[in-house]
Amino acid sequence: GNSVTQMEGPVTLSEEAFLTINCTYTATGYPSLFWYVQYPGEGLQLLLKATKADDKGSNKGFEATYRKETTSFHLEKGSVQVSDSAVYFCALSATTDSWGKLQFGAGTQVVVTP
């Protein structure tokens, strides 16, 4: 079946450090890939997405590239801020499922210290 694996947290960084959160997936066909962010006390928000191989999603300084050859969608940000502290979820929507049904990774908590 479909699955998403992302690195365990918490990841603790200093402000302005480089952030990478690894995400790999297993799916048949060509899934769409997403990164969601959950700030404390809030619902999940879409951070970025990519719908086909080699697509790069980007938003708020975050980037992720859909790599079909390595079945990966790693999230990166060059210089994090304290406000980036949150839980980040990698997710996929399989082509065999109806749009909107998401398979999530376990989530990675990121803590950015001043």
Task: Count residues near other proteins (CB under 8 A).
Answer: 19
Task: Please identify, using beta-carbon distances, which residue of 38 and 79 lies nearer to other proteins.
Answer: 38
Return d(Cα 87, Cα 67) in angstroms, integer: 23
Q: For the segment 74-93, give every residue that binds other proteins (CB under 8 A).
A: 89
Chain centroid to Cα 28, Å, comes to 19
Report residue 88 as tokens. 């980040």
Q: Is 100 in the site for other proteins (CB under 8 A)?
A: yes
Cα-Cα-Cα-Cα dihedral of 48, 60, 6, 83, to 10°? -140
CB 6 to other proteins: min, Å: 9
Identify which range of 13-21, 22-30, 37-45, 60-68 contacts other proteins by CB under 8 A.
37-45
Q: Is 27 in the site for other proteins (CB under 8 A)?
A: no
Identify which range of 12-20, 36-44, 54-62, 74-82 contacts other proteins by CB under 8 A.
36-44
Q: How far is CA 55 from CA 41, 73, 76, 89, 107, in A?
A: 31, 10, 14, 19, 22
Using CB under 8 A as the criterion, which residues of the chain lie in contact with other proteins when the complex forms? Answer: 4, 36, 41-46, 89, 98-107
